[in-house]
Chain A
């Protein structure tokens, strides 16, 4: 039999958006972070597995990667958290004007990082087809580059969207908040990769 309804609570006064873990997309983003985090963790495990094949790391005659580009990248990445936090706070405060001003800044930082990343590939002192050490170093940097480029693309699209009248929709501010959350994940995952690419090959010579 099909039951007759017995009406209890009226939900019509519930809000139509919410920030953080009350938002549905927040859960989607967390799930994708876990997926990407698993990729990085496994790639790092592969790094140590391959490292165990060698007597020293980086194996001679290859030199460890040059530090300048990678360290500059890391510094810019860490500093980017300042405007990133400002955007996140502005989005939570429904301050669309501030979000509209700051998104081009984050887009420019993304462009700058992609350019520096190009120099990083050029400073690894090994090519992907030289040996397994080169392969895994390139793999880590390539994986993180897809990360950077994806979030840069997200930010560019969001910037364009926020310039339209849709920017006044509170749900777009939730998107902005979550884009800023994702950026934190991007720079946090970079830190161990930076150590693996630039410092472990120096420390285990």
Chain B
């Protein structure tokens, strides 16, 4: 056998490679065999294809959206009239906790990561993402965490302490039983999932870009993905540490949050919001990425002032880490703290405002086509500006102290999160639906659903500003008559019913269009970015040949023929790594084959996490199967190294 030094100097093996001599149907048949999942159910469970993982993420997140939406309707029905007794106080506590927790941890962040996992490898012109098994592990962990929370809720041990679980309410003294532990351990699951996906994305976007796609040529959605992935990496450890400390206070008697033993309940708030505020931007920035892509395509021109948009994304990502204390104005702060965090909170409006001006300028300079995705963008700009402005209002401490914990805040963050993230998401689903399914969504149903969602949303959430100014607190299961709260609450309830009917219509459109929608050409919108260079839906290997990029709008500039590089193996999974800044081809990299071990690793980790709700010893015992599963995951399956590397 050859030594490692000799192996390192070997010329490439003479094996089939894509190129002028192997192209077209013959190439695609070979690539298809190499990159397809193994057959059967086990093959389905073993998939590491980013398109499968991304699709699973998005569909699962939409199911959680529907579940949390049902809870929202339950709350609105309870609040429709004063002194209503449809839902009792204790159950109401569980419902608003489950609603917020599900929306933030099981819908908003995962759905954005799912879209990113599906789209970014296609947009940067590669066959797969980095560490695809880690990506698969990420999805299974997310699913396990979601199931833990919802099975607990169905079994009547769901959490009831609000989505941010402040101690001492969530501590061992007041949060009796296992409700809080289940919430905290769900956090661990979803954070592991989000971090795993973020690591995969970060490596993908640094090293997998198609040759020529320098940083300055990356699509803006890809920039948004890079910024949010880095934000996940820096922020999520905070909530994982905080919830770990909460679990240990509850399980083994530590005193991190116990003032009686010199701990501090506010430590929780700092750690939680150091994660919680960036999380808002982790949800919002991908949505701005959707907006940039949709605006460019439907304006028929590239985005105006690309560098400003990119720098705004980066600036927002950095500023997001300096704002968390504005969630804590009512806890009492030093005066300088008030000033600093007010200024920081207001300053984040600047990069966001710049982006909005760039989109408006692009629409102004272009020839906008008012298709459904662009309607959602316009709905987004209108709604998000209102939410942003109320955000600037409550960045001012005196007003915040008046409005803290009232329905004004509920109105504000729904304007920001639904207007700022869900509207662009619905536009993005409509926009990329043909890419994923090969069919277009119905424009007519799409337009009806848009107007119902847009108007229903305003009806549901604008009156909450009024209810909040009248003094209606959040998280109360009812309110007395005669305080002027009847009308805004009834309007909100009616609006929420309109929104749910509209979402139902959106789903009906999805189902009908997936089955019998108009067939989509590879580039139905005549868009400029690389995901539209391949067929709809894309084959398992994404691209027959890897594109060579020489501009920000490669498909608009390509002409009849698309420049490609060639020479990658086709009978083993192989892709090209490029340099970070200028994306020069650097290394041929084997890509991992499908494997059941990420799922088995998840089962082992789930056993450890769930049992550790009940006993700390579960961590010591449970770590053994986890270590064995991870070792089996990485261990090469062939007896000796191949002539050219394969990750089996």
Contacts and interface: CB of A to CB of B under 8 A. Distances in A.
Interface of A: 1-18, 21-24, 27-28, 31-32, 34-36, 38-39, 42-43, 46, 49-50, 53-54, 59, 93-96, 128-136, 138-139, 153, 157, 161, 164-173
B471 interface: no
B233 A31 contact: yes
Contact of B264 (A1, A15, A53, A133): A53
B253 interface: yes
Interface of B: 1-5, 7-8, 11-12, 17, 19-20, 23, 130-131, 134, 195, 198-199, 202-203, 206-207, 211, 233-234, 236-238, 240-241, 245, 248-249, 252-256, 258, 261-264, 267, 270-271, 274, 521-523, 533-535, 544-546, 548, 555, 558, 560-568, 576-577, 579-580, 585-590, 627, 631, 634-636, 639-641, 644-645
A94 B202 contact: no
B563 A50 contact: no
Contacts of A161: 635-636
B560 A4 contact: yes
Given A46-B267, A165-B1, A129 B255 contact: yes
A28 B199 contact: yes
Contacts of B635: 157, 161
A46 B249 CA distance: 14
A3 B12 contact: no
Given A5-B544, A7-B19, A132 B261 contact: yes
A49 B406 CA distance: 29
Contacts of B270: 49
Contacts of A13: 11-12, 567
Given A129-B252, A129-B253, A27 B641 contact: no
Contacts of A168: 1-4, 7, 641
A94 B1 CA distance: 15
B292 to A, nearest CB: 24
Contacts of A153: 627
Contacts of B535: 2
Contact of B263 (A21, A50, A172): A50
Contacts of A53: 262-264
Residue of B203, B253, B568, B590 with highest tally of chain A CB at under 10 A: B203
B323 to A, nearest CB: 17
A16 B588 contact: yes
Contacts of A10: 19, 565-567
Nearest to B195: A35
A43 B270 CA distance: 12
Given A49-B264, A131-B262, A165-B1, A6 B576 contact: no
A131 B254 CA distance: 7
Contacts of A135: 245, 248-249, 254-256, 263
A136 B249 CA distance: 11
Nearest to A149: B623
B640 A42 contact: no
A170 B7 contact: yes
Contacts of A34: 233-234
B616 to A, nearest CB: 11
Contacts of A24: 130-131, 203, 207, 577, 587, 589
A151 to B, nearest CB: 13
B271 A14 contact: no
A11 B568 contact: yes
B256 A136 contact: yes
Contacts of A128: 248, 252-254
Contact of B587 (A5, A17, A39, A42): A17
Contacts of B202: 27, 31
A35 B237 contact: yes
B472 to A, nearest CB: 34
Contacts of B636: 161, 166
B3 A31 contact: no
Contacts of B234: 34, 38
B566 A11 contact: yes
Given A10-B19, A12-B17, A22 B262 contact: no
Residue of A31, A36, A46 with highest tally of chain B CB at under 10 A: A31
Given A22-B587, A38-B233, A167 B264 contact: no
23 contacts: A2-B533, A4-B562, A9-B211, A10-B566, A11-B546, A12-B19, A12-B567, A16-B589, A17-B8, A22-B579, A23-B587, A42-B241, A50-B267, A131-B262, A132-B262, A132-B264, A135-B248, A135-B254, A138-B254, A165-B1, A169-B641, A172-B641, A173-B4
Contact of A6 (B237, B248, B564, B579): B564
Given A24-B203, A39-B241, 13 more contacts: A1-B522, A5-B566, A7-B566, A18-B587, A22-B586, A38-B233, A42-B237, A46-B267, A93-B5, A94-B4, A128-B252, A129-B254, A132-B258
Nearest to A136: B256
A129 B5 CA distance: 55
Nearest to B533: A3
A27 B7 contact: no
B317 to A, nearest CB: 14
Contacts of A136: 256
A27 B631 CA distance: 20
Given A1-B521, A49-B264, A135-B263, A28 B7 contact: no
A12 B634 CA distance: 26
B1 A132 contact: no
A7 B211 contact: no
Nearest to B198: A31
Given A43-B241, A96-B4, A168-B3, A22 B577 contact: yes
Contacts of A129: 252-255
Nearest to B270: A49
A161 B211 CA distance: 34
Contact of B640 (A2, A17, A139, A166): A166
Contacts of B249: 135
A28 B131 contact: yes
B621 to A, nearest CB: 14
Contacts of B237: 35-36, 38-39, 42
A59 B264 CA distance: 16
B254 A16 contact: no
Nearest to B638: A166
Contact of B203 (A15, A27, A164, A173): A27
Given A11-B576, A50-B264, A27 B206 contact: yes
A64 B511 CA distance: 65
Contacts of B130: 24, 27-28
- Closest 3 interchain pairs by CB? A12-B567, A3-B562, A169-B641
B8 A94 contact: yes
Contacts of B563: 5-6, 8
B110 to A, nearest CB: 18
Nearest to B267: A49
A157 B562 contact: no
